[in-house]
Amino acid sequence: MRDNGRVSDEVLIEMRAACKRFRTWKRKEGVRGFFANFLAREWQTVSALEGIDLTIRRGEFVGLIGANGAGKTTLLKCVSGITPVSAGSASMFGCDSFELRDEHKRRLSMVMGQRSQLWWDLPAIDSFRLLREIYPVPREVFERRVAESAERLGVADKLQRQLRNLSLGERMKMEIVGAFLHEPDVVFLDEPTIGLDLVSRETIRRHLVELNRSRGVTIVLTSHDMEDIEETCRRLVILRQGRMLFDGALVDLMARVYDRRAIEVHLEPHSAGWEEALAPLLEPFSAKLERSAPLSLLFSVPASAVQRFVPFLFERFAIRDLAIERHPLDMLIRQIFQERGPGAGAAP
């Protein structure tokens, strides 16, 4: 699906050694702790972002991933000017993010998958009218954009229906129609496909890629769904505990994905499973055991070794079923997490 447009040299988002730290107090347990919480609080500094260097140019489609609490949303907040950085700098459109003026804010938009901005009891079109005034968009342009976007996302006939009567997928599509009404230059999407069915996810991804390609809109997408990332982004940023673990082209990462296969083996009940002693036998195939359960094993193998490795598996184990798949991106990302410690910086 990835058919993104051209990236220009114009830098829209820039972070230099950006840190975000919070001061919070440690809650103590028990009765003594209860009094200590009032009388002698123990303060600590929590680091949500640490030393982030990030440059995003016009037209890029960047995937931002990381575990819960990795700092994805904090990064979005710092960049979009909701909260200031504690050290370093964060800028957007060449202006300090926390000092963004209205003319800058008109150029950005934010969609939060779990926080609908449209009013539950009203049809989406009513909320769009308010957005039209906020941004502001001329009436005829507004009508055209709503009609086009809603048509493309397949919700044109739902505009007049109360939001509460729409499905989750339809509501998210409405959010996206609203987010692009003012044709922003930068859009932050925070888990836009969370909880959606396959068809809705596909439709939304296709729509986003189309907007990125045709309008050159810069999109920063956070998602736990690797399919979202694979099918839309050209660049991937991985965060872990507030630090940037990887920043690079998705295509480079995908080359590693295409080079390997995941082989999932289901064993016969009561048969011999995996033993540590078997590990050296994997070396000739450059295979790695990714996951081991009593009756199932998951191996990662170079594509070129599959033909030799499968007979080896049948020889060693009583196999009930076997599946060979392309190496999933999330497995690779897990490897990156394992290879680089929490203190590691971004890839060059």
Partner 1 sequence: MSSLLRDLRLLGIAFVYELRKVTAWRAGFVVRELMRSMWRPLVMIFVYRAMLLEPDARLGGYDFPGLVGYLILAASFEKLLFHQRGLDLADQIFQGYVTKYLTMPVRFFVLALARFVQHIAVQGFVLAVLWILGWLLLPQWWPQPHSAAAALSALTLVLLGSYCAFLVCFVVNVLAFWLDVIWTLSAMASFVFSFAAGVLVPVSIMPEWLAGTLRWMFPYWAVSAPVELFLGRLDPSALSHGVAVLLAWIVALELVRELAWRRGLGRHVGAGV
- How far apart (Å, rounded) are the C-alpha atoms in residues 281 and 53? 42
- How far apart (Å, rounded) are the C-alpha atoms in residues 187 and 346? 23
Query: Where would I find the H helices in 222-290?
Result: 226-232, 250-259, 279-282
Question: Pick from 11, 19, 36, 122: which binds partner 1 (CB under 8 A)?
Answer: 122
Question: Pick from 127, 200, 212, 232: which binds partner 1 (CB under 8 A)?
Answer: 127
Angle between helices 139-153 and 198-215 (to 10 degrees): 140
Question: Pick from 26, 115, 139, 316: which binds partner 1 (CB under 8 A)?
Answer: 115
- How far apart (Å, rounded) are the C-alpha atoms in residues 65 and 78? 16
Q: How far is the CB of 179 from partner 1 (least distance, A)?
A: 9
Q: Is 193 in the site for partner 1 (CB under 8 A)?
A: no
Q: Is 45 in the site for partner 1 (CB under 8 A)?
A: no
Q: How far is the CB of 334 from partner 1 (least distance, A)?
A: 22
**Closer by beta carbon to partner 1, 116 or else 212:** 116
Q: Which residues, in sequence order, are CB contacts of 248 under 8 Å at separation 6+?
A: 235, 236, 346, 347
Q: Is 43 in the site for partner 1 (CB under 8 A)?
A: no
Using the contact rule CB under 8 A, the part of the chain among 8-16, 73-81, 261-269, 289-297 near partner 1 is: 73-81
Residues recorded for the chain: 348
- How far apart (Å, rounded) are the C-alpha atoms in residues 253 and 303? 15
**Closer by beta carbon to partner 1, 5 or else 63:** 63
**Closer by beta carbon to partner 1, 84 or else 94:** 84
Question: Pick from 105, 215, 234, 291: which binds partner 1 (CB under 8 A)?
Answer: 105
Q: Is 220 in the site for partner 1 (CB under 8 A)?
A: no
**Closer by beta carbon to partner 1, 133 or else 157:** 133
Q: How far is the CB of 218 from partner 1 (least distance, A)?
A: 14
- How far apart (Å, rounded) are the C-alpha atoms in residues 347 and 134? 40
Q: Which residues, in sequence order, are CB contacts of 289 under 8 Å at separation 6+?
A: 274, 279, 282, 297, 298, 299
Rounded to 5°, the CA angle 48-53-59 comes to 110
Residue with tokens 């359960």: 293
Q: Site residues (CB under 8 A) for partner 1?
A: 20, 22, 48, 68-69, 73-74, 77, 80-84, 102-103, 105-106, 108-112, 114-117, 119, 121-122, 126-127, 129-130, 133-135, 162, 188
